[in-house]
């Protein structure tokens, strides 16, 4: 996924990734997500901003056992994100998917409970 030209940012529980939804130059923002599993548990998650002017990528690594569930969702009455492309990530040796962000969203929220939750919001949730 081109890690060489981007800075790694470690994700913690309840972090939010701010982005610009739509620009004239890049169009609708997207994110690529790589999920790395070990023994049926999610142990690493990589999130790459696509079609955005960003020099960062985001990573979460499990401490302990890992997460069993992965959920994608929205708040504030937004449309669901459009997952449109699946493929194989050679760098992480796992499945990757690419998704369009919902219209009017500004933040991608990351939460860890018994599983991993990624959801889009209009405002930063504390």
Residue 126 lies in a domain: no
Residue 45 lies in a domain: yes
Domains in the chain, number: 1
Range 103-123 average pLDDT: 93
Q: Which residues constitute the domain of residue 91?
A: 3-121
Range 24-43 average pLDDT: 94
Above 90 in pLDDT, residue 28?
A: yes
CB 107 within 8 A of CB 121: yes
Q: Specify the pTM.
A: 0.92
């Amino acid at each position: 996924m081109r890690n060489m030209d981007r800075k790694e940012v470690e994700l913690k529980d309840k972090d939010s990734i701010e982005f610009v939804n739509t620009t004239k130059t890049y169009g609708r923002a997207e994110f690529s997500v790589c999920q790395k599993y070990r023994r049926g548990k999610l142990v690493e998650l990589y999130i790459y901003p696509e079609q955005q002017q960003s020099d960062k990528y985001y990573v979460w690594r499990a401490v302990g056992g890992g997460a069993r569930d992965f959920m994608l969702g929205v708040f504030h009455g937004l449309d669901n994100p459009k997952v449109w492309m699946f493929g194989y990530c050679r760098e992480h040796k796992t499945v990757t998917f690419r998704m369009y962000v919902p219209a009017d969203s500004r933040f991608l929220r990351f939460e860890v409970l018994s599983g991993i939750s990624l959801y889009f919001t209009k405002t930063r949730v504390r």
